[in-house]
Structure formats: structure tokens, C-alpha cells
Chains A and B, each alone.
Chain A
Amino acid sequence: MAGVCVLSTVVGGVRVAVPDFEEGLPQRFPLGRPSDFKMNTLTWLQDRDLFVIRNEDGMGAFSCRCTHLGCMVRRTADGFVCPCHGAEYGPLGEVISGPARRPLPWYRLWLERDGRLWVDLDETLDDAGPTPVVLPQGDEA
């Protein structure tokens, strides 16, 4: 009987501690117009922990959070390196060496009717690399 009381208190207490909602920024949001990102550049959107890349293959957005323990990776001449434990990634976020196991995740990016690029951080892509984006008239950078 005492055991049941203690157990139900613990289980109930833990259930209260499980968050039912999360505060913070939305996971789906606009990045800006395609012309904000010049051809053959990599832009660091620091306040959303994202890299946005644009080259001949198209455009793409991937995380700048190291998949090892969540520090922000730094750009180097041939990719990215994490300052916390030295994980190294290639130019598309693929694991080169160090303790990280997973590549930097890429997110779905699309052009909305409002002419802006949107990203959804809940939708990760299976393949790394920029994807073609149909640009609106007169918006080629």
C-alpha cells in the first residue's frame, strides 16, 4: 500500500515535469528573399543557428550546431570545425574526423508565394547539398 502511494507520487511528479509545451521561436520561418543570398556564398544566420548556401546547384540551409554536443561549428578553409571537442566537417557538413557521428542536418527550403525563402527545422533532408530553387522573375542575383 505504501509502495503504491510512493510510486504513484513519483510517477505523477515526473509526469508534471515533462514539458507539455515549448516556448521559443517557431520552427518554420522565412529566411529572406533569394536575392539576399549572393551566388557562391555561405551565409551564417547567427540568431537561428543556420548556414544558408547558394551555388550553381541551387540553395540549401543546414544547421551550424555540432551533432556531437551542440556547440556552434566554425568555418575553416575546407569545411567546418567545432571548437568544443574538435569535430571536423566537410564543406557540406559531412563528418571528416573527430567525435561527431552524424553530419550537420539539412532542412527543407522552399520559395513561398510571398517571394521569400522559407525553412522548416522539423523537416530534415535525407541528402546533403543545395537543391535547385525556381527563382521568381528578375530575382537572379
Chain B
Amino acid sequence: MSTLRANAATLPANLKRGMRPGVRPEDDTLTHRMRRNFFFHLHPVRVATRTLEPKATLGLGVITLTLFVVLALSGVLLMIYYIPTPGEAYTSTQDIEYAVTFGAFLRALHRWAGHAMVLTAFLHLLRVSFTGAYFGRELNWTIGLGLFLLTLGLAFTGYLLPWDQLAFWAVSVSSNMLDYIPWVGGFLKRILLGGREVGQAALIRFYMLHVAFLPGLMLGLIVLHIWRVRKDGGLACDPEAPENASSVPVRPHLLLREAVLVLVLLTLLCLTATFVTAPLGGAPDIHNPSNPEKTPWYFLWIQEMVSYSAPVGGFVFPGVLLAGLFLLPLLEREQEGVGRWFGRPGNPAVLGVSLVMGLAFFVLLEWAFMHQGVVSWLASRPPLSRDLFNPATGMLVLSVIVFAVTGILTRSTRAAFHAAIVVLLVAVIGFTLVAWCRGPMWAFFWPWEEWTLVR
């Protein structure tokens, strides 16, 4: 009994020691604590002073990771009420929106954080591209590409779950785009939908992908991604460059910045989720799409290209983009200027020129293809001419030309790749904006114009 009393008296001390096995009191220093703590262990001990500047990374990796955590937590709570059957998906979403305490807040938080994550993952990809940070990190670049595709997959599978008119038709149209992938497209669509059309089988598959398979895969890849950054020597910078010579301890310099960034982000997210409700349309009419019927915004560029040519817009253009990104760190191996925006000092001017060229050519193409003359001339030609002559193919060809010309003039593979990426970026953003402006019967309307039925 006296032993028990003695143990109870030393309980706090024993608890502290017992929960940290193998830690001797003399090891309880800052360095040891940082090595032991999993969260701290993700960080190195020192970082180059230059990589602490906000413009070095824009904090996009930390932001994207935070959004993932927010999405996982809010998603688990939403799962308590959501029922993935065609009969109850919509009504249970209505319950979350109108009856569950904090339901509307959670749904809005999940929705806006999901949209934001697509955007920040994309910006992170652009940041790593334009700072040449992929140099010598082929594996982690590929993991990052995989993470970006997973982000799109999670956003897309989540889009169907509210099972409202918008969700049902956006996913119907998007999954029919799979039919245009040669050889495997039909098979992919079959295992994704579990049938010919979006129904019960598709809903449960999307739900499984959204709450278990894709997040699990993503968590594993995130851990690998961050661990590889650490193993590859932290944030990319040229060790030879004089501006990278000075370094500071991670604690407090980096940790403080990260904490502030996360707190500001969480504040903004909570404010947005409180004041901007997540949209919920009417119950789906599975025989009657709205007019126009649009995919989620991050696939609008594909939908716009597909409206000209399904094989080019749905397969060739995204395929070339993906293959090009995959090959980027393998074909572009200049070490000079790694970690610096746009590489060599002269390169921003080159990119400015390709930006202007891309914009000019895009506007020209869109202007031409919105004139009835071009459209009806193409309609009288064999179907293949629509694949060869359309804005998507045009921008793809321009990016190849810009790539070759820049490479020859600057003798820099980085400048050539960056210039091509700029042109393709103009195309992706341009097509997204044009598709966003489309009204009934896919006719173009300026944002200030009222939608009318043209035909």
C-alpha cells in the first residue's frame, strides 16, 4: 500500500518518463528534442537565410499540407451524416446543410478548402517549375506530380457526392470524356462508374475513392514527399551561390514563420466558411441536364477544348502536358540559378516575350473560331480537320515552336522549358475563362451580357 502511495506521488514524473522511453534527463536539450519529435524531425536544424524569404516558396507547400489536414478532419465529421446512396445522398447533404449543428460550416469549410487545395497544389507545381527546384530531384518531382493528380482526383470524386443537379451532370459529362482515351478509356470508365452511366454503382465507387483509397494514397505520398525534401538537402538552392552562404537555426526562425502562415490560413478559411455557404443545387434530374452543363472549374479548360475536338482536348493536350512535366527534370539539367525565380537574370525578359506571344495567338485563335465562317468551313471538311484545326492544337503547336526558338536563341534548356510552360499556361487559363463565359448551347457571352437562347 505504501508502494502504491509512493508511485501515486511520483505519477506526473513517471508519466513523463514512461511516455518518452529511452530519454535520459541529460538528453532533454533543444537539439535532442528536435531530433525526437516527429514534427520537428521533418525540419533540418539550419536553413539558408534566403529560403526564409516569403518569395522563395510563397509558403505554398505548407499551405497545401495544412489544407489537407483541414480536409481530412472536416471530411471525417461529414462522414457521420452522409449516406452514399442515390436515394439518400442528396437528402443527407441537405440534413448536413440545414439540420446538423455546425453542418453548414463544416460543409463550406470542406468545399472551400478543397477548391483552395487544387489551386495551391497547382501554384506549388508552378513555383517549383519556375524556380528550377526540380533539379536533381527526379523522384520527388514525380511524387509531387502524383500528389497533384491525386488532388484533382479527390476534388473530382468529392464533386459527385452532394448528388445535386450540378454534381450529377458535371460528373456524367467528365467521365464520358474517358471514352476518348484510346484503348483503355472504355475500360477505365467501366471500373470508375461500375456501369454505363452514373448511378448507385458510380456513387459508392466515388465515395470509396474519396474517403479511403485516394486520401490513404495521398497521405503516404505526402510523407514520402516531405521526407525526400529533407533527404535532398532541404529547399532547393544553389550551394555555390554567395547569397546562400548564411544560414539560421530552424527554431525559431522557420517554425515561427510556418506557425504564423498556418494560423493566418486557418483564420481566412474559417471566415470564408462562416460567411460563404457551399452551393447546393436542386435534386438531380437524371434525364435533363441544365443548359449549359459545366464540369468543375478545374476541368473547364478540358471541356472547352473538348467542345472543338474530343480526342485532342480530352487526351492529346492533357497527355502532352503531363508527359512534358514528367520529363522536365530529366531533360532540363542546368544547375545554374537553381532555386531562383526564372533562372538566369535574362530569362524573365524571354518569358515576357513568350507570354505576349501566347496571349496574342490565343486571342487570335478564339476570335477566328468564334466566327461562323470558320466554323461552317470546318463543318464541311472531313472530321479529322477539326482535330488538326482548333485552338487547342494551335496553342500546342505554338508552345513547341516557342520551345525550339527559345532553346536555339538562349542556348538554355531551362529558358526553353519555361517559355513553353508559359504558353501552355496561357492556354489552360484562357480556355478556363472562355469556358466560364459559355452560356446556353455553349455559346459565348461576355460576363456582363445576359444569357439568351441563340438558336
Q: Among the listed stretches B101-109, B143-151, B403-411, B437-445, which one makes contact with chain A, having 4 or more residues with CB under 8 Å of it?
A: B437-445
Is B201 touching A19 in the complex (CB atoms < 8 A)?
yes
- Given the complex, which residues of A lie within 8 Å of B191, measured CB to CB? 14, 17-19
Chain B CB within 8 A of A96 CB: yes
Complex interface residues of chain A between 6 and 24 (CB less than 8 A to chain B): 14, 17-19, 22-24
A-B contact pairs, 10 of them (CB 8 A): A17-B205, A18-B190, A19-B191, A69-B173, A70-B172, A71-B172, A82-B441, A83-B292, A83-B442, A97-B378
Beyond A96-B379, A97-B376, 4 additional pairs, beta carbon < 8 A: A70-B173, A70-B176, A85-B303, A86-B307
Is A23 touching B195 in the complex (CB atoms < 8 A)?
yes
Q: Using an 8 Å CB-CB cutoff, how does the interface string of A100-126 with B read, 1 for contact, 0 for none? A: 010000000000000000000000000
Q: Which 4 A-B residue pairs are closest in the complex by CB-CB distance?
A: A83-B291, A97-B379, A86-B442, A85-B307
Docked pose: A68 CA to B190 CA in angstroms? 17
Contact A47/B287 with A69-B176, A84-B442, A97-B376 known, Cβ cut-off 8 Å: yes
Is B173 touching A74 in the complex (CB atoms < 8 A)?
no
Binding site for A on B (CB under 8 A): 169, 172-173, 176-177, 190-191, 194-197, 199-201, 205, 287-293, 303, 306-310, 375-376, 378-379, 383, 386, 440-443, 455
Is A83 touching B440 in the complex (CB atoms < 8 A)?
yes
Chain B CB within 8 A of A91 CB: no
Give B291's nearest chain A residue, CB to CB. Answer: A83
Chain B CB within 8 A of A81 CB: yes
Q: Smallest distance from the beta carbon of B173 to chain A beta carbons, Å?
A: 5
Is B190 touching A99 in the complex (CB atoms < 8 A)?
no
Q: Smallest distance from the beta carbon of A60 to chain B beta carbons, Å?
A: 20
Is B441 touching A68 in the complex (CB atoms < 8 A)?
no
Q: Smallest distance from the beta carbon of B440 to chain A beta carbons, Å?
A: 6
Q: Smallest distance from the beta carbon of B372 to chain A beta carbons, Å?
A: 10
When the two chains form the complex, which single residue of B308, B310, B455 contacts A81, counting CB atoms closer than 8 Å?
B455
- Given the complex, which residues of A lie within 8 Å of B375, measured CB to CB? 97
Complex interface residues of chain A between 63 and 83 (CB less than 8 A to chain B): 68-72, 74, 76, 81-83
Interface residues on A, range: 20 to 34
Docked pose: A74 CA to B375 CA in angstroms? 20
Docked pose: A98 CA to B383 CA in angstroms? 10
Is B173 touching A101 in the complex (CB atoms < 8 A)?
no
Is B292 touching A68 in the complex (CB atoms < 8 A)?
no
Binding site for B on A (CB under 8 A): 14, 17-19, 22-24, 46-47, 49, 68-72, 74, 76, 81-86, 96-99, 101
Contact A19/B194 with A24-B199, A81-B441, A84-B173 known, Cβ cut-off 8 Å: yes
- Given the complex, which residues of A lie within 8 Å of B290, measured CB to CB? 83
Is B383 touching A69 in the complex (CB atoms < 8 A)?
no
Is A84 touching B293 in the complex (CB atoms < 8 A)?
yes
- Given the complex, which residues of A lie within 8 Å of B383, measured CB to CB? 101
When the two chains form the complex, which single residue of B195, B307, B309 contacts A24, counting CB atoms closer than 8 Å?
B195
Docked pose: A14 CA to B194 CA in angstroms? 12
Q: Smallest distance from the beta carbon of A43 to chain B beta carbons, Å?
A: 14
- Given the complex, which residues of A lie within 8 Å of B172, measured CB to CB? 70-71
Q: Smallest distance from the beta carbon of A70 to chain B beta carbons, Å?
A: 4
Contact A69/B195 with A49-B287, A81-B441, A99-B307 known, Cβ cut-off 8 Å: no
Q: Smallest distance from the beta carbon of A15 to chain B beta carbons, Å?
A: 10
Docked pose: A49 CA to B292 CA in angstroms? 18
Docked pose: A96 CA to B378 CA in angstroms? 11
Q: Smallest distance from the beta carbon of B64 to chain A beta carbons, Å?
A: 28
- Given the complex, which residues of A lie within 8 Å of B197, measured CB to CB? 24, 70
Docked pose: A118 CA to B302 CA in angstroms? 39
Is A23 touching B376 in the complex (CB atoms < 8 A)?
no
Docked pose: A82 CA to B288 CA in angstroms? 12
Contact A99/B310 with A17-B191, A18-B190, A19-B201 known, Cβ cut-off 8 Å: yes
Docked pose: A5 CA to B80 CA in angstroms? 35
Docked pose: A98 CA to B289 CA in angstroms? 18
